[in-house]
Amino acid sequence: MGNVIEQIEQQIARLSTKAVKKNTGHIRTVADGVAKIDGLSEVMYNEMVQFPGGTIGIALNLEQDEVGCVVLGDVSQLKEGDEVTTTGKLLSVPVGKGLLGRVVDALGRPVDGKGPIEAAETYPVEKIAPGIMARKSVTQPLFTGIMAIDSMIPIGRGQRELIIGDRGTGKTTICIDTIINQARINKVGIASGNKDFRPVYSIYVAVGQKQSNVVRTLSALEAAGALEFTIIVAATAADNPANQYLAPFSGAAIGEWFMENGMDALIVYDDLSKHAVAYRQISLILKRPSGREAYPGDVFYLHSRLLERAARLDGKGSLTALPVIETQAGDVSAYIPTNVISITDGQIFLETDLFNQGIRPAVSVGLSVSRVGSAAQIKVTKQVGGKLKGELAQFRELAAFAQFGSDLDAKTKATLERGARIVELFKQPQLNPLAIEVQASILWALQKGYFDSIEVKNIVQAANSFREYLTARRDSLLTLIRTKAALAPEIETDLKAAADEWKATFAAKA
Amino acid sequence: MAADKKTKTLARQLFKLSIVDGRVSADQVSGVLGWIEKHPPRHPLALLQVYQHLIATELSRSQAIISHAGPLADGVVSRIEQSMTQKYRRPITASANRDSSLLAGIRVRVGDDVYESSVAGQLAALSA
C-alpha cells in the first residue's frame, strides 16, 4: 500500500508547479447549439473555447456584455453556470496523407471506425486565401472523364467550377465521376513510373446530406477503387448547424495542405446551398441582423472567402474546387446561386428537362461555361472538340425551327443529323468516366463522319463498341495519344486505320 | 425576464455613474438605487439585475479569490495581493478560502482570469 502512495506522490512531484493563466467565463444561456457566455474578456474572434467534458466551441460573437459561441459537440451535457475557458488557439484540423481513404467529421475526427488518424500537422480551418503574387494562371487540365464537360467546358487545376441544377439532376454524380476519374488517372500515372506525373487527391465535403447518401457515395468510391485517393469530410443533416457551417472550411484546410506541399487536390463542396442555410440558422440564433431571404449580410463573404482558397500556386501545387448549388425549379437567379455564380470561374448547369429526356449527364450547353476555356485543354481535345459547342448551339437553334416546317435544305438537314449524333454521343452512364484518349478518339471519329451512317438510336451502342475495340485491340495507340496529347499525322493515320477496321466489324454485326 | 436594449443601455449609464476614480463607490451606488426607487423605470427588475451584474463583474476585477487545499504560509495572501496589484495596475484585495477538491496547491481568480497551480487543475489538463 505504501508503495502505491509513494508512486502517487512521485507523480504529484513531477507535475509542474508553475501557475497557468486561463481566461474564463460562465454559461449564461445555452440553446440551439449556441451558448451565451459571461466573461471571456480576452477571447479572440474564431478562437476555440473549452466547455466542461471536453466539448469544443468557437467564439463567433464578441459583444459588450457576453460572448456568443457555437458548440461543436453534445450540448445536452452543458448547463447554466458551467465554466468555459479560452484555449488561445484557432480551430484547426489534422491534415496530411494519413487522412486519405478516411471519413472524418468537421473537426477532422475519424467517423469510419477505422481507428485513429496519423497526422503530424494541423492547419487552421479559417485562413486568408493566397494573395495575387502567389498565384499562377490555370493552364493544366483536370479531366472529369465526362465527354460533354472535358470537350466543351474544360476544367483546369486551380479553377472553381460551379455545378448547379435542381434536385435529382445528377450534380453529385458528376462530382463522384470526377473523383473516380482522378483515381483512375492516378493509378495509370503512378504505374507508368513517370517522374513528372502529379496525382490529384480528392476531398469530398458532404454538407447537410442524408447519412444514407454519404454511405452510398462512400460505397461507390470504394467499389471504384477511388477511396485510397479520397478524403470524405461529412457533416450530415444529423449534425448540428455549426458542424455543417465548418465542414467546407475544414475540407479546404485539408486541401490546402496538399496545395502548399506541391501536390494537386480537388475539393467538392456538396452542397453550398445547405451550407448557406446552416450559416443562416447560426446567424439568426446569434441574433445577427438578417438581410435578403433572412440570410446574414456576410453570406457572400462566407462563400467568397471559402472559394478563394482554391488556387494554383506558383512553384507549389493547386486546389481545384467544385462547389455544388441546388436550385429550386431551375431558378439560377436566386440569391445564393447568383452569389456563387459570380464567385466561381464558370458553371455547369444541369437541366431537369434534359435529364427527363434521358440525356445524361443533363448538361445544358447553352448555360454552361468555363471562364478558363481552352487554356486548360490539351491539344488533342482542342483538335477534336474545338467546334463542338458551336455545332451543338446551331443544332439547338435549327431544331427549334425545324419543328415548324418539313422542307429543309441539305445543309440544315446535315446540321440536324450531326447535332442529334453529338447529343447521343455525349450520353454517358454514371460511375463510368472515360479516359481523355478514348474521348478524343470517339470525337475524332465523329468529326470524320464515322458515325454519320449509323442510326441515331444506335449511336450510344456504336460509341461503346468503338471504345471497347480501342481498349481491347489498340491500347498502344491510346497510350500514344495520352502521352503525346496531340493528334500528329502518324497518330491520325493509325486512328483512321483503327476506325476503318472497327467500322467494318460494326457494320457486319449490325 | 430578459432585459431589452433600452434597459441595458440605462443600466450601463447608471453603472458608469457608480464608478469614481476607477473603483465602485458605495455612496454612488446607494445614490443610484435611491434614484431608481424614486423614478421607477419600465422594467425595474431587469434593470436592477443588469446593474447588479455589471457592479459584481467590476468588483470581481478588484478581488483576488485564493482557493487552497492545504494550509497557507504566513504572508502568502499579502504577497499575492501585492503582485496582483502590480500586475493589473489597480488596487486588488485578496481573500482566501479552503477547497479540498484542489488536492494540493492553490488557485487564484481575479475577474475572468484564473491562475491555476493546483494538482486538480493539472490533472484535468493532463486528462484533456
**A296 membership: H or E segment, kind and range:** none
Which residue of A22, A41, A43, A67 to mutate against B (max B Cβ within 10 Å)? A22
Q: CB of A245 within 8 A of CB of A278? A: yes
CB neighbour class for A10 (10 Å; exposed up to 12, middle 13-18, buried from 19): exposed
The 10s digit of each residue's pLDDT in A411-467 is 888 889 889 999 999 999 999 999 999 999 999 999 999 999 999 999 999 999 999
State the pLDDT at residue B120. 87
Of B112, B116, B119, the CB nearest to A12: B119
Q: CB of A205 within 8 A of CB of A251? A: yes
**A332 membership: H or E segment, kind and range:** none
Of B115, B117, B128, the CB nearest to A54: B128
Q: For B103, which residue in chain A has the nearest alpha carbon?
A: A12
State the pLDDT at residue B128. 64
Of A16, A19, A65, the CB nearest to B115: A19
> Which residue, among A509, A479, A504, A506, has the nearest Cα to A494 in the 3D structure?
A479
State the pLDDT at residue A217. 96
Strand A20-31 versus strand A121-124 pairing type = unpaired
CA–CA separation, A151 vs A426, rounded Å?
10
Evaluate if residue A148 carries a pLDDT over 80.
Answer: yes
Higher-confidence residue: A341 or A19?
A: A341
A467 is catalytic: no
Looking at residues A133-149, what average pLDDT do you find? 95
CA–CA separation, A2 vs A495, rounded Å?
87
Evaluate if residue B126 carries a pLDDT over 80.
Answer: no
Strand A346-350 versus strand A47-50 pairing type = unpaired
Mean pLDDT of chain B: 90
Looking at residues A46-57, what average pLDDT do you find? 91
Evaluate if residue A260 carries a pLDDT over 90.
Answer: yes
What b/e string do you get for A71-93 counting C-beta neighbours within 10 Å, with b at 16 or more? bbbebeebeeebebbbbeeebbb
Mean pLDDT of chain A: 92
Asked if A22 and B116 come within 8 Å (Cβ–Cβ), the reply is yes
Q: Please, which residues bridge with residue B97 across strands?
A: B67
The 10s digit of each residue's pLDDT in B18-48 is 999 888 999 999 999 999 999 988 888 999 9
Instruction: Tell me: cis bond preceding A361? Omega within 30 of 0 counts.
Output: yes
pTM summary value: 0.89
> Which residue, among A150, A174, A156, has the nearest Cα to A384 in the 3D structure?
A150
State the pLDDT at residue A406. 67
Asked if A22 and B119 come within 8 Å (Cβ–Cβ), the reply is no
Q: CB of A59 within 8 A of CB of A69? A: yes
Residues 6 or more apart whose Cβ sits within 8 Å of residue A464: none
Evaluate if residue A104 carries a pLDDT over 80.
Answer: yes
For A16-65, strand residue ranges (E) read: 20-31, 34-39, 47-50, 56-62
State the pLDDT at residue B5. 86
What b/e string do you get for B79-101 counting C-beta neighbours within 10 Å, with b at 16 or more? ebbeebbeeeeeebebebeeeee
Evaluate if residue A213 carries a pLDDT over 70.
Answer: yes
Instruction: Quote ipTM for the complex.
Output: 0.84
Residues of B near A (CB-CB distance < 8 A)?
Answer: 8, 12, 53, 57, 103-105, 108-109, 111-117, 119, 121-123, 125, 128
Q: CB of A242 within 8 A of CB of A299? A: no
CA–CA separation, A237 vs B31, rounded Å?
55
CA A208 and chain centroid, separation = 15
Query: How far lies A187's CA from each of A198, A224, A268, A320, in Å?
Result: 11, 12, 20, 19
Give me the helices (H) in A286-409, please: 299-307, 335-343, 352-356, 379-385, 388-402
Q: Which of A109, A167, A292, A371 is catalytic?
A: A371
Residues 6 or more apart whose Cβ sits within 8 Å of residue B118: B67, B69, B102, B103, B104, B105, B106, B107
Please report residues of B whose CB lies closer than 8 A to that of A22. 113-114, 116
Q: CB of A71 within 8 A of CB of A282? A: no
Residues 6 or more apart whose Cβ sits within 8 Å of residue A15: B119, B122, B123
Grid cell locating A54: 471536453
CA A10 and chain centroid, separation = 54
What is the band of A278 on the pLDDT scale with cuts at 50, 70, 90?
very high
Evaluate if residue A367 carries a pLDDT over 80.
Answer: yes
Looking at residues A15-40, what average pLDDT do you find? 86
Evaluate if residue A13 carries a pLDDT over 80.
Answer: no
State the pLDDT at residue A399. 83
Asked if A41 and B112 come within 8 Å (Cβ–Cβ), the reply is yes
CA–CA separation, A63 vs A84, rounded Å?
16
State the pLDDT at residue A400. 79
Percent of the residues in chain A that have a pLDDT greater than 90, as a whole number: 81
DSSP string, A255-269: HHHHHHTT-EEEEEE
CA–CA separation, A338 vs A347, rounded Å?
11
Evaluate if residue A15 carries a pLDDT over 70.
Answer: no
A17: helix, strand or coil: coil
Asked if B113 and A22 come within 8 Å (Cβ–Cβ), the reply is yes
What is the band of A374 on the pLDDT scale with cuts at 50, 70, 90?
confident
CA–CA separation, A389 vs B126, rounded Å?
63
Evaluate if residue A161 carries a pLDDT over 80.
Answer: yes
What is the band of A16 on the pLDDT scale with cuts at 50, 70, 90?
low
- Cell numbers 459547342 correspond to A389
